[in-house]
Structure 1
Amino acid sequence: MKRILAGFACIILLGQHVQAQSIYSFQGLGSLNHQGMPNNVGMGEVGIGSPTIWHINTQNPANLIYNTFSTFQVGLEVDRRQFSGEDISGSATDGGLRFLGYAFPIMPGKWSSSFGILPYSSVSYNTFSEGEIPGTDDMVFQISDNRGEGGLTNFFWANGFKIKNKLLVGVRTTYTFGSIEKNSTISIGGDDVPVSNVTYREFESYSDLNFLFGLGYRHKLNDETFLNFGAIYSPKSPLNGSSELSLIRVANSGAEIEVIPVREGNIDFDLPGQLGFGFSYEKLNDFKIGFDIESHSWSSAGNESQTYNDGFKFAVGADWVPDYNDVNSYWKRAKYSAGFNYYKLPYIVNNQALTDFGINFGASLPVSGFSSLDLAFKWGQLGESSNGLIKETYYKVVIGATINDRWFIKRKYD
């Protein structure tokens, strides 16, 4: 079964980076992605104060200390969106690799480490509009085709340490990199006016290091019941970037006739500071209930060309195992989860802040040893269909694999 899971992981690695086709991804760095694993998605995206020994905690590095196994996680995500607004409707589907991480103990119970890749933001949109140009003697029409693709990726290395019996600390170093390309093609023509096509192309690339610090604390109520607390902090950090703007003359066939450089320069952009707290009540091998609160100081970040609101996120979730010791029932040994989350996004459209609400469900199905097949589903709603905005109703399906084993340990007996 582990070989099957490893093969499944390799197949996923051949997939492309998932890019949710959100109309609002034209804003800023694009659609911002949750920085958790498939098991966190199923639990409402809770994770700051919810440790587990079976999966990698990418939300709070302090909780890595609970990874006493060598743990490998990988997963893909399929995103289906439906758009609605004033005289607007449509749908889009996309998907690909979304989760990849590996954690291992260096000094079991005292120091654990992990590394992996998670998408930070995704840009993927295509909007189309047409209309008559006012003030012209003849009937002259303008067609605009706007497209964007790309995004930023986080490559992280995290470490968790036990300072005392109950106090944990952690640090995560992240290299954020990627590029975003936006194209706006304008076509003008009419009955007595020849068609003229021009494309404005903007290409942005980013890369830099940033850091996140974590704390964890576990209070023992009895041998099986615990209260878990967690906190994370990330200071505002620069994100170095460069931008190129070009004007392109395009033939009616779509071929590029001439490329005219317009502007090149550096981008001064800041990633926001982040502060988060989490709490969970846990009964080992039975159930866990937790919540997270996060704030992102986007109003003091970004750049001078765009204004942002401070972001805020609230998540609540629970998981449970019907009967962990029932060897006669596979489904009673599976772990089930559910939760919901609310996110006030930093982006402002038509002088209104965007909000994102989601309801999540998940399951971790046991396979050979302590490994599992992780499934999650999210129904969400972004924006609204009034006040000049567009409502996106979306569905996300996550399929992941977790392999737990004691690797790199020399056998005492052959």
Structure 2
Amino acid sequence: MKRILAGVACWFILGQFAHSQSIYSFQGLGSLNHQGMPNNVGMGEVGIGSPTLWHINTQNPANLVYNTFSTFQAGLEIDRRSFSGTDVSGTDADGGLRFLGYAFPIMPGKWSSSIGLLPYSSVSYNTFSESEVTGVDGVRQVSDNRGEGGLTNFFWANGFRIKNKFLVGIKATYTFGAIDKSSNIFLFEQREVISEGDTSLVNVSIGNPIAFSEQKSYSDLSVLFGFGYRHKLSEEAFLNFGAIYSPKSPLNGNSEISLIRLSNSGGEIETVPVSDEKIQFDLPRTIGFGMSYEKLNQYKIGFDIEASGWGSAGESAQQYNNSYKIAVGAEYVPNYNDVNSYWKRTKYSAGFNYHKLPYIVNNQALTDFGINFGASLPVSGFSSMDLAFKWGQLGESSNGLIKETYYKVVIGATINDRWFIKRKYD
């Protein structure tokens, strides 16, 4: 079974990161992705104050101390969205690699380390707009707007136990990637056409289409600090506390803007460079707190609160809101030691989250609400197949906005084993 899991994980690695389409991903760096693993998704995206022995905690590096096994995790995400608004409707689906991480103990119980890749943001949209050209009667402008790309986080995290109950951690992240945006602009003139005595208006193309192309690439380092504390209530009951802090940090990059004259068939006739300059996008200061009550190998209930100072971050040309996120979740194992019932040894989870996003559209802040479910199916040893499902709603269908209703399905593989241990006996 472990060979099967390893094969599935390698197949994930050869894939590409998922970039689900969202109309709102034209804002800033795009749609911001949850920085947890599949098991966190199933528990409502809770993780700051919820340590686990069997999975990698990518939300709070201090909790890595609990990884006394070598742990490998990979996950695939499938995203399906429907859009609704005034005179707007549609659907889209996409999927690909979403989670990848490896954790290993250096001094078991005292120091554990982890590396991995997680998509930080994704850009994928295709919208159309039509308007009259100011000062010219009968001429209309149609814009075909597209965007794709996103940023990826490569992280190296370490967790340390200080004395007995106190934990500290640090995560260094290298954020990199590129975002390509373009707008193809077409001009049409409305003319009257008389056919068999009937008069109708038809659109006639004027001149060649013009494309506006913007390519931004980013790469820079940032750091996040984590703290943890476990209070023992009894032999099997614990209260877990966690906190994270990430200072405001610059994300440096380069921007290239070009104008392209197109043929009526869409081919490029001429490209005119407009600008090529260094840019900076400030990633916000983030602070988070989490807490959970745990009955060992039976159940866990927890919540997270996280706030980011986007109001003083971003880029100077665009304003953002301060954002916050609230996540609540629980997990339950009917009977961890029941060797006769597979389903009683399965871990079930559920939760919900509410996220006020930093982006402003039509002078309104965007919100994202989700309800999550999950299950960790045990396989050989301490490994598992992790399944999660999320139903969510982004935006609204009134006030000039568009409501996105989406469904996410996560399929993950977790391999736990004692690797790199020298044999004492043959």
Question: If the length of structure 1 is used for normalisation, what is the TM-score?
Answer: 0.98
Find out whether 1:265 has 2:277 as its counterpart.
yes
What's the CA shift string for 1:342-367, capped at 9, x where partnerless? Answer: 00000001110000000000000000
Distance 1:162 1:268 in 2: 36
One of 336, 340, 353 as aligned partner of 1:328: 340
Gaps of 5+ in 2: 192-203
Q: Which residue of 2 aligns with 1:219?
A: 231
CA contact (8 A) 2:186 2:205 kept: no
Q: Which residue of 1 aligns with 2:369?
A: 357
CA contact (8 A) 1:214 1:230 kept: yes
Distance 2:313 2:164 in 1: 38
Task: Work out the number of aligned pairs and report it.
Answer: 413
SS of 2:343's equivalent in the other structure is helix
Amino acid at match of 1:85: G
Amino acid at match of 2:109: G
Between Structure 1 and Structure 2, whose CA radius of gyration is higher? Answer: 2
Q: Which residue of 1 aligns with 2:10?
A: 10
CA contact (8 A) 1:312 1:345 kept: yes
Q: Shift in Å at residue 12 of structure 1?
A: 1.2
Amino acid at match of 2:25: S
Q: Shift in Å at residue 17 of structure 1?
A: 1.2
Q: Which residue of 2 aligns with 1:390?
A: 402
Q: Which residue of 2 aligns with 1:155?
A: 154
Distance 1:172 1:250 in 2: 46
Amino acid at match of 2:119: P
Find out whether 1:87 has 2:98 as its counterpart.
no
CA contact (8 A) 2:294 2:300 kept: yes
Q: Shift in Å at residue 412 of structure 1?
A: 2.5
- How high is the sequence identity, in percent, across the aligned residues? 77
Find out whether 1:296 has 2:295 as its counterpart.
no
Distance 1:67 1:54 in 2: 7
What's the CA shift string for 1:275-312, capped at 9, x where partnerless? Answer: 00000000111000000000000011111100011010
Q: Which residue of 1 aligns with 2:186?
A: 187
Structure 1 segments, 4+ long, off by >6 Å, are: none
Q: Which residue of 2 aligns with 1:318?
A: 330
Cα RMSD (Å) of the superposition?
Answer: 1.1
Q: Shift in Å at residue 251 of structure 1?
A: 0.7
Distance 2:332 2:205 in 1: 68
Gaps of 5+ in 1: none
* Structure 1 stretch displaced more, 10-19 or 225-234: 10-19
Q: Shift in Å at residue 232 of structure 1?
A: 0.3
CA contact (8 A) 1:140 1:193 kept: no
One of 340, 359, 379 as aligned partner of 2:352: 340
Distance 2:348 2:205 in 1: 63
Find out whether 1:146 has 2:145 as its counterpart.
yes
What's the CA shift string for 1:88-132, capped at 9, x where partnerless? Answer: 001111110100000000001110000000000000000012355
What's the CA shift string for 1:54-98, capped at 9, x where partnerless? Answer: 000000000000000000000010110100011100111111010
Label 1:184 to 1:193 Cα distance change in 2 as closer, same or farther (>3 A).
closer
One of 190, 199, 216 as aligned partner of 2:211: 199
Distance 1:140 1:211 in 2: 52
Question: If the length of structure 2 is used for normalisation, what is the TM-score?
Answer: 0.95
CA contact (8 A) 1:189 1:196 kept: no
SS of 1:9's equivalent in the other structure is helix
Distance 1:107 1:172 in 2: 18
Distance 2:6 2:176 in 1: 27
